[in-house]
Structure 1
Amino acid sequence: MKEGGKTVDDIKFRIEKYINNVENALSDLELKKKSITERGFDVSNLLVNVKAYLDDAKYFLKIDKLDDALISISYSEGLIDSLKFLNLIDIKWPENPLKEAKVFVAGTFDILHPGHIHLLKFASQFGKVYVVIARDINAYKNKGRPTILDENTRLEMVSSIKYVYRAMLGDEKDIIKPIETIKPDVIVLGPDQPIPEEKLASLVEARINYKPVIVRFKEKDKFSGDLKGSTDILIKGCEYLEKYGNNLKF
């Protein structure tokens, strides 16, 4: 089951290498724990969580839940990286075992906001990110309203984001066609995308003859107070117009 992309067995092998990298880093951290503590930083709880995510990744890999394995081991590495960013340790990761993987993300991306950036940053952990921008006609069908920004504007904006390797417009009639063209190893779904992971994996496998790893980005962090997405921004904009009217200055 390999045609233009990596097999599930290959993804498993890469996850195993990722786990091995974290295990080696954790062993080194245990040795350095005393010296870090002497500098006034208690990292005991952090190391407990690193180990917990590592164990989760091993368990999920064992039962073939590759999406959860990828997420868990990425969180584990992220915690270790936090010590590096605080200059408490000097660690150089081996070559990222997933860096050559193709990662597929699709969405409307109307009115870019931090939530979009968080999604794309998350996706970039797994490899090169290919983003497919919803066509205007499809966005209208899905949302029941036209987008604020047209498809070419949205494409231009997403293309400029540093986490994106390549962005392109989707197909107006066939949502699976871009996946067939890109042949991704990993597909990242946003928190609001309704299609179940297993259903999407089966649909894609029927077209490209292998089943990619499906990862659900479950976080939907608030930004600028209680805003969570483009709809919230639109609502707030309408409230501003109603409240301030012609006094608005830009």
Structure 2
Amino acid sequence: MSTLADRVLTYVRNVEQAIEALRTNANGGGEVGELIELAEAYLKDTLHYFKVGDYETALATISYAEGLLDALRILKLSEVNWRKPSELAKLASRKVFVAGTFDIIHPGHVGYLKYAWGLGRVVAVVSTDESVKRIKGREPIIPAKQRVEVLEAIEYVTKARVGYEDDMFRVVEEEKPDIILLGPNQPFTEEEIRRALRSRGINAEVVRMPNIINCQLCSTSSIVRRILEMAGELTSSLRNH
């Protein structure tokens, strides 16, 4: 990744945490709320330009966002505490590896990816169609290539790709992450992963996301059940008419 891209990510990290803090502490809307919303819009633009590799435009838009937040501080409308550049530079240069089926994207996936983004640049690896069938006993609903396309469209993901059928650690060797982030309900222990990494000479930190994202449809199986229920209700309704 280029030095310019790292600089953009440093700005992004600072603006993200500042907006989150302001949203938590702001007293309603008004002019402060409008400026925060405008800064958020510039932040979203930045993430788009960053994903398509237009780092010059991304730097311009994130600078606008930072300027708006600095204006709040200068005018004493709200307090903005910027993080240390050294801390942000570390985040910008760190690669975080996540993996999963990512079949039907739901809030649990988004929470997992957002947590990973908070640790560094995210490389998301999807299971092959054959692996899903072998492990889950069914075909994936969404084919691997399309699952990658969806992940690449999510702002928290820097890169998405398909893993390997024969060796789950082969992709880790290729990507050389600094951190491997396990989901809260993934069926491996941290020590199991560390042992496998050590046996291959891979030096990566292994951590687990601490909290499960709970919602009514926060799993592929619950979404499928709901679709089937609605299909059954529709069929019954049509028969009654």
- For this structure pair, what is the TM-score category when the shorter chain's length is used for normalisation? 0.5 to 0.7
Q: In structure 2, which of residues 111, 116, 128 is the aligned counterpart of residue 118 of structure 1?
A: 111
Distance 2:168 2:193 in 1: 11
Could you tell me which amino acid in structure 2 is paired with residue 219 of structure 1?
N
Whether 1:156 and 2:149 are equivalent positions in the alignment is: yes
Q: In structure 2, which of residues 57, 80, 84 is the aligned counterpart of residue 90 of structure 1?
A: 80
Whether 1:99 and 2:92 are equivalent positions in the alignment is: yes
Distance 1:191 1:100 in 2: 25
Alignment partner of 2:92: what SS? coil
Give 1:3-152 correspondences, 5 Å limit.
88-95=78-85, 96=88, 97-152=90-145
1:52-74 deviations in Å (ceiling 9; x for gaps) = xxxxxxxxxxxxxxxxxxxxxxx
Q: In structure 2, which of residues 211, 221, 224 is the aligned counterpart of residue 234 of structure 1?
A: 224
Distance 2:210 2:104 in 1: 20
Distance 1:146 1:192 in 2: 21
Could you tell me which amino acid in structure 1 is paired with residue 127 of structure 2?
A
More helix by share: 2
Could you tell me which amino acid in structure 1 is paired with residue 197 of structure 2?
V
1:219 Cα offset (Å): 2.0
Alignment partner of 1:154: what SS? helix
Q: In structure 2, which of residues 201, 211, 220 is the aligned counterpart of residue 219 of structure 1?
A: 211
The runs of 5 or more residues in structure 2 that have no matched partner are 1-24, 28-71
1:222 Cα offset (Å): 2.5
1:26-67 deviations in Å (ceiling 9; x for gaps) = xxxxxxxxxx9xx9xxxxxxxxxxxxxxxxxxxxxxxxxxxx
Do 2:106 and 2:217's aligned partners in 1 also have CA atoms closer than 8 Å?
no
- In the superposition, the TM-score normalised over structure 2's length comes to 0.63
Whether 1:167 and 2:157 are equivalent positions in the alignment is: no
Do 1:183 and 1:208's aligned partners in 2 also have CA atoms closer than 8 Å?
no
1:95-133 deviations in Å (ceiling 9; x for gaps) = 212321110000110011111111001001111100111
How many aligned positions are there? 166
Quick one: percent identity of the two aligned structures? 33
Q: In structure 1, which of residues 192, 201, 207 is the aligned counterpart of residue 194 of structure 2?
A: 201
Alignment partner of 1:116: what SS? helix
1:88 Cα offset (Å): 4.5
Q: In structure 2, which of residues 164, 167, 175 is the aligned counterpart of residue 182 of structure 1?
A: 175
**Are residues 246 and 147 of structure 1, via their aligned partners in 2, closer, same or farther at CA, if it must alter by over 3 Å?**
farther
Could you tell me which amino acid in structure 2 is paired with residue 241 of structure 1?
A
Instruction: Indicate the larger mover: 160-169 or 88-97.
Output: 88-97
Greater RCO, CA 8 A, separation 6+: 1
Do 1:220 and 1:228's aligned partners in 2 also have CA atoms closer than 8 Å?
no
Alignment partner of 2:157: what SS? coil
Distance 1:160 1:94 in 2: 29
